[in-house]
Chains A and B, each alone.
Chain A
Amino acid sequence: MRLGKEQAAGYVEDTEAVSETDELIDNPERTPATPEPEPAVTAG
């Protein structure tokens, strides 16, 4: 594929993509990322 003369180079983020993380943010039924704290166990 012929694209013609080079004009510039750079870097750009895909800001329009909906990531899986974004989809989870507003989901009230999502699994909590941090489990409930468990009671401390005393060793010995």
Chain B
Amino acid sequence: MGTPLSRFSGWGRAPRATQPGGPRRPPGGERPDRPFTGYKLARAVLSADGAKTAFAGLTLGAERVYGVTAEASCVWSARHAPPRRWCGCGFYCLHELADAQALGCVTENRSALLVEVTASGRYIRYERGLRYSRQRVRVIRGGTCGCGNPGTGLADGGSGLVGWRHLTPVCDRCGAGRQALTMSGFAARLDGPVVLTLPAAPAATPAPDAGESPFAVLAAEIALLHARLDDLQSRLDH
């Protein structure tokens, strides 16, 4: 993935609508009337002073922080504008929400936020998504706590970049006693407006029977296994 540049001073140039001499567009390309909507994963980050929040990429763009509106640049060569066909640079997004949700199941992506973006600028369109030059994060669709519940807040993820701490989604129970930003607190510290569309909390599941010891369950499972082995042995004997 290319390197996203953001509005943050010191992190790259501010996005601009046109390049010097006009936008650098691929020759003979499509010219849709409306920008694309896409879905992607991003890491939430909090500035060292706690005043600002932003996003970071997951793979090649993991070292760069970007804001709500950002323009990509190539990490390998400043001589071309992303997305270059034979380079992997540019922002990435997927056409389908379900594909982005599936990507969120990958171990290293479990602490990422699912976001909805508007993709614009130069782009290359693929079967499942886009590679493109300009991005506006429009909706934050939340993240998942390590326990599997929807994240209601964002706590320190234990890693980070210079000046930025990675945040990880936490639910109310797992976040108890930890310093955490609410999702709305995270959104309020971004450098532009975004909409929060968070999944509803799952229905309360009944607590396991306190009288049912895990050892008792295990013993029952072992007894069942023995019974099956005995049955198998008797069949072999016949």
- Could you tell me which A residues sit within 8 Å of B by CB distance? 1-17
* Closest beta carbon of chain B to A35's beta carbon, Å: 26
Contact partners of B122 in chain A: CB under 8 A: 9-11
Is B66 in the interface zone, CB < 8 Å from A? no
Contact, CB under 8 Å: B1 / A1: yes
A9–B92 CA distance with the chains assembled, in angstroms: 14
Closest Cβ neighbor of B119 among chain A residues: A12
Q: For chain B, which range describes its interface: under 10, 10 to 19, 20 to 34, or 35 or more residues?
A: 35 or more
Is B161 in the interface zone, CB < 8 Å from A? no
Interchain Cβ contacts within 8 Å, total number? 87
* Closest beta carbon of chain B to A8's beta carbon, Å: 5
Residue of A1, A8, A13 touching B120 (CB-CB under 8 A)? A13
CB<8 Å pairs between A and B, sample of 25: A1-B59, A3-B92, A3-B128, A3-B129, A3-B131, A4-B128, A4-B129, A5-B127, A7-B125, A7-B127, A8-B124, A9-B30, A9-B85, A10-B25, A10-B30, A10-B32, A10-B125, A12-B119, A14-B35, A14-B121, A14-B134, A15-B33, A16-B34, A16-B35, A16-B118
